[in-house]
Each structure stands twice: as C-alpha cells, then as structure tokens.
Amino acid sequence: MQQRTEALYLKNLGIDTNQEYVVFLRRDCPVCKSEGFVALNRVEVTVGDKTIIASLNIIENKILHKGEAGLSESAWKAVNAKEGDLVQLAHLQPVQSMHDVRSKMYENRLNEAAFHRIIQDIKDEKYSNIEIASFITACSGDHLNLEEIKSLTKAMIQAGSILKWNSKVVVDKHCVGGLPGNRTTPIVVAIVAAAGLTIPKTSSRAITSPAGTADTMETVTTVNLNLDKMKSVVEQEGGCIAWGGSIGLSPADDILIRVERALEVDSVGQMIASVLSKKAAAGSTHVVIDIPVGKTAKIRTEEDAEKLKYYFTVVGKSVGLKVRVIISDGSQPIGRGIGPSLEIQDCISVLKNEPEAPEDLKERALFMAGCILEFSDLFKRQNGIQLAREILESGKAWNKFESICNAQGGIKEPRVAEFHLDILSEKKGVVSEIDNRRIAKIARLAGAPSSPSAGVYFLAPIGRKVEKDELLYTIHAESIGELEYASDYLRTQRDIVTIL
C-alpha cells in the first residue's frame, strides 16, 4: 500500500474533459512540492472508498485556493464527489504493460499474455488517452497478424463478464460500416425476435460515421441499459437494441472506441477484435457479418473483403462463434436517411410497411434477417428470406419493435431538424457514381451524430435520371452554424454525386 499525501479539499470547477479523468492542483500546492508532482503525471485519486487514476493538470491562477483540489466532471462523477470532500493523492506505480505497447510500436509481435496485460490495464483505467492512442496507432493498418487478432479478441473477452442464455442458439449481426444509411439492425432484430429467436443486440455509437446503431435507436428509446435491465428486456421480448458501453461487456473495447473516435481511426484488426469480443461476451453463438464493398466504402476491393471474411471466420471459431460473412454491394448509400433521426425514420417506414419505404433498405434487412433465421434448426428447411418477409409484412415485426422499445424505457418520436439546405442537380443526366465518404462527411459537418436530427436525406441513387435543378439531397442541421459548416465544405467539392 502506498503512502498517501496529506488530504486536500475538493472544489467543483465544472471543467468537462469528456471521459479523461483529470485532477487540478495549484502549482504552489504543498502536495505538488512534497510529492514532486508535475503536469500530466498519472496519480491515484481517492475520495472516500472510491479510487480512480487521473492525469494531473497544474493551475497557475487563483481558481483554486490553497488546500483545494479540483476534478474534471467525469472524474467528479466517478468518485461520487461532493463540494468540500477530502481527497487524497498518491503516485501511480509504473504501468508494466506499457513495455508491451512500446514493443508493438517497434513492430514486434505480441503474444496472448501481453495483450491480456495491456487490455486489463486499459480496463482498469491505468492508461491515459495518450497511452491508449499509442496502443491503437501501433496496432492500426496491417500491424496485427491473425494470431495477434485472436489473442487481442480473447483478452478483450476475458477482461469482462460473459452472459449466458437459456437458448441453444443465440444470434447476432454486425456490419463493418462505411456505408451511409445502412441501418438494418432495428429491422433485423424486430424480425428475428418476432420469429422467436434470442438476439441480445449490443450496438456501438459512431466512430467515424454519421451514426451508429446506438445513436439511431436513442432517438426513439432508451439505449443506456444496465446489465440487469438488458437481461430483463431480452427475457421478456427475445431481443434488445442497447448501447454496449452502458452494459460493460468487453469493457476495454468501449474505452478503445472512445479514443478511436477522437483519432478517427478504425483499424481492421482492432475492429475484428472489437466486434467479436462484444458478440462472445453477449453470449451469442451465431453471428452474421455484413461487409459492404465499394470504391468509397470502408472495404474497397473484393480481395480485401475476402481476407476480412477469412479473418472473421477463423477468429470467430477460436472464441466459439459460428460466423457467416456476407459480402455486399457498397457502391452507394442505403435508404434515404443519413444521421440518427433520419435513419430511424427509414427503419420505422420499413417496419410499418409504408408504401414509400426505401426498398433497398427493406431488401437488405430481409436478406440479413433470413440468413440469421437459417441458423436455427427450426427454420433450416425453410427459405429464411421468405419467412422474414412474411413476418415483416404481417406487421409482427413492427409490433415486436414497439414492444422492445417499450420494454427498454418507452417509445418516442425522433426529432426533426429546424434548418435545411436543398442540393440540386447542376445538369440533366443519370446518376452514375456516389462518393460515400464525402456524403457521410457532409452529414457529420451538419452535426450528426451529436446533433441527432442532423444529417443528409438522400434522393439520388445510382441509375436515377435527373433533370437540371432537380433535388439530389437535403442537408439537415440543428443550427445555422452547423448548416454553414456543411455548406462551406460542399462549395469546395465536385462530383460527390456524378451525373453523366
């Protein structure tokens, strides 16, 4: 046990550092002098029976009085602090797993024990964001081989709890991303749960896209479920659509994703480990993975997709998952909405069997749901897609979606953006190509996903004939400033939608 410093009293400074825990001290604080603390030191912070690890920031002005210390908002909540509470600080012992990270930075191969040390320390929040970023960067690109991906996946599973269900077959699905508007999950979960299968769907928030499934579902229901609530929903309805970060399965993954989002990095090896560790931790036995391939999708070539398919299958098998990989068309956005509220509106339209519902989203969701249904012995001799269609078109899927939302905390109407900008065709012709990445960037600049109703409503699929000045898409924003950000970017771009 380390010798702790003399006590200080907490003052709430109201400083938001996102999820990075920070402790603030005056430069002339006796603790700084006696302990030799300097800015950016990692220190143990104890308030009552709660201890966290935080980065030290030094205050030069008089915002703190002598004998006072401050905490960032996230740190304040983590230790349940109150104004005037006693706080004690202690030196953090060197984090030994950083030796493994440094080894990886020099392109050495790591074994399972090394990944276990790193992931355990990340889970225990012994790493600063800078140290986490160094690990993510060292593993990015093709810097993880197949054995390392297996080891990383196992380490991430072992760092958290694993759910157990009473069903022999527990199903799930995931799309690797890179395709704007491809929000099939709410539809698929509703169909599969309505068919009687167990599908405990935990979803991520956006990393580099305008919306993750958790962002999208949050516009209509509660997704921040704790573990007991998630279990209750699944036991009652057969499925759920919850944010994985609130449940604590594969907890290190949520910390990694937070930093990946800031870096706008989504490396293949870590993506595989992230996806499969979450599926295994959620108790899934069978998983469908969708890999869209296209010139401006995340996965750009069939060759890359086949390699990724092999990795998903082999790594999945190593952790006890039966994985079916689908390589799909990633040449253009799916549906019309790009952004949380706009995407859920598409999903609801499909689930309600509205005549104007986007057909491409419907058919893609039916294909995914059909593949999942065929995992079960109950449906192996049936056409899974046809069965999925019957469930959807009968209204059972919409009823199940409503029931899941109500079980998670109630269903509400998604917000509608106040500000809009129509983008018109500059000439007559046929839409021949769409830049997925730049369409997604427009949606993000307009505010998605942090502004839930922001994004792009897209009306120009490949093959559509358009006249000059015909509407191609509409940008939605919650503020004039965000609309101007997107508009300024758009003025510098050509051929986001190519018309010949």
What is the predicted pLDDT for the residue at 1?
41
Residue 145, pLDDT above cutoff 80: yes
419-499 homologous superfamily: Pyrimidine nucleoside phosphorylase-like, C-terminal domain (3.90.1170.30)
What is the predicted pLDDT for the residue at 31?
83
Q: Residue 331: name the closest of 203, 444, 449, 498 by CA.
A: 498
The torsion defined by the Cα of 468, 470, 476 and 482, in degrees rounded to 10, comes to 10
What is the predicted pLDDT for the residue at 257?
82
Confidence category of residue 161, pLDDT binned at 50, 70, 90: confident
Per-residue pLDDT of 268-286, as tens digits, reads 899 999 999 999 999 999 9
Angle in degrees, CA 447, 449, 455, rounded to 5:
55
d(CA 338, CA 344): 9
Determine the angle formed by the axes of helices 268-281 and 302-318, rounding to 10 degrees. 40
Per-residue pLDDT of 355-413, as tens digits, reads 999 999 999 999 999 999 999 988 877 799 999 999 999 999 999 999 999 999 999 99
What is the predicted pLDDT for the residue at 20?
84
What is the predicted pLDDT for the residue at 455?
98
Residue 337, pLDDT above cutoff 90: yes
Per-residue pLDDT of 184-227, as tens digits, reads 999 999 999 999 999 999 988 887 889 999 999 999 999 999 99
Tell me the mean pLDDT in the region 467-496: 95
Residue 292, pLDDT above cutoff 70: yes
Residue 14, pLDDT above cutoff 90: yes
Per-residue pLDDT of 252-266, as tens digits, reads 888 888 788 778 777
Residue 500, pLDDT above cutoff 90: yes
Per-residue pLDDT of 409-461, as tens digits, reads 999 999 999 999 999 999 999 999 999 999 999 999 999 999 999 999 999 99
Domain with residues 171-409, CATH architecture: 3-Layer(aba) Sandwich (3.40)
Are residues 66 and 28 in contact, defined by beta-carbon separation less than 8 angstroms?
yes
User: Hey, which residues does 475 pair with through a beta bridge?
Assistant: 421, 456
The tokens 């197949």 sit on which residue?
A: 146
Are residues 271 and 308 in contact, defined by beta-carbon separation less than 8 angstroms?
no
Tell me the mean pLDDT in the region 19-39: 86
422 noted as active-site residue: no
Mean pLDDT of the chain: 93
Residue 116, pLDDT above cutoff 90: yes
CATH class of 8-91: mainly beta
d(CA 371, CA 117): 37
Tell me the mean pLDDT in the region 167-173: 95
What is the predicted pLDDT for the residue at 6?
61
Q: Count other C-beta atoms under 10 Å from residue 493's C-beta.
A: 11
What is the predicted pLDDT for the residue at 402?
98
Confidence category of residue 5, pLDDT binned at 50, 70, 90: low
Confidence category of residue 306, pLDDT binned at 50, 70, 90: very high
Confidence category of residue 129, pLDDT binned at 50, 70, 90: confident
Catalytic residue among 85, 121, 254, 266: 266
Residue 70, pLDDT above cutoff 60: yes
Fold of 97-159: 1.20.970
- The 3 state secondary structure assigned to the chain is CCCCCCCEEEEECCCCECECCEEEEECCCHHHHHHCCCCCCEEEEEECCEEEEEEEEEECCCCCCCCEEEECHHHHHHCCCCCCCEEEEEECCCCCCHHHHHHHHCCCCCCHHHHHHHHHHHHCCCCCHHHHHHHHHHCCCCCCCHHHHHHHHHHHHHCCCCCCCCCCCEEEEEECCCCCCCCCHHHHHHHHHHCCCEEEEEECCCCCCCCCHHHHHCCCCCCCCCHHHHHHHHHHHCEEEEEHHHCCCCHHHHHHHHHHHHHCCCCHHHHHHHHHHHHHHCCCCEEEEEEEECCCCCECCHHHHHHHHHHHHHHHHHCCCEEEEEEEECCCCCCCEECHHHHHHHHHHHHCCCCCCCHHHHHHHHHHHHHHHCCCCCCCCCCHHHHHHHHHHCCHHHHHHHHHHHHHCCCCCCCCCCEEEEEECCCCEEEEEECHHHHHHHHHHCCCCCCCCCEEEECCCCCCEECCCCEEEEEEECCHHHHHHHHHHHHCCCCCEEEC
Tell me the domain boundaries of the chain: 8-91, 97-159, 171-409, 419-499
